[in-house]
Amino acid sequence: MKTWNITTPLTDSITILPTAGDTVYISGIIYTARDTAHKRLIEIMNQKKTLPFELKGQVIFFVGPTPPPPGYEIGSAGPTTSGRMDIFSPKLLDGGLKAMIGKGPRSMQVVESIVKNNALYLIAVGGIGALISKSIKKSTVIAFPELGTEAVRELEVDKLPTIVGIDVKGNDLYKRGPESYLSKIIK
């Protein structure tokens, strides 16, 4: 397993490097969106209107951060379950999205779209939202403020820790990890 430091926006020359299980630290600008925001982004795309941010080369973090405590830019920023975004992810990937950050396995449709678009699915470990928030240097709501914590935010991050869950070849840590473990204990 390798460790990568990458900066947004992402390109194919960056996304082809990490493989499933590698550690990736992300720096630069990323965006947040959860279920309702994803639905709205797809509606905007279907209406051929302008999205609140350029999708090409971008990263979406599936998170609804808590309000910031005094002196902090953002509250706890733990990932939400990615499967809830599976119906929306292929269209966003086709639109230029290069990486998604969340937790949990993804559908076969999403895996196929990741491969087709040379994208990555990155895992942020659940339960360490307070630690993750320390990598977030700036947070600005840029769309759907009425959604509160689930509004779309632009985040400036510095070395946000993630693990490659699915790489550009479709290698899936959620499948490969258990298989590797079982092969070592069952002989």
> Residue 150 and residue 85: Cα distance in Å, rounded?
13
Q: Concatenated DSSP letters for 68-134?
A: PPTT-SS---PBPBGGGGTTTHHHHHHTT--EEEEBS---HHHHHHHHHTT-EEEE--TT-HHHHHT
Question: Which among 34, 38, 40, 98 is annotated as catalytic?
Answer: 38
> Residue 122 and residue 107: Cα distance in Å, rounded?
14
- Residue 56 makes CB contacts below 8 A (sequence gap 6+) with 9, 95, 96, 98
Place of tokens 């396995």: 105
Q: Sign of the C-alpha dihedral, residues 107, 104, 89, 124?
A: negative
CB atoms under 10 Å from CB of 125, counted, come to 14
- Supply the Cα-derived Rg of the chain in whole angstroms: 16
38 is catalytic: yes
By annotation, the residues acting in catalysis are 38
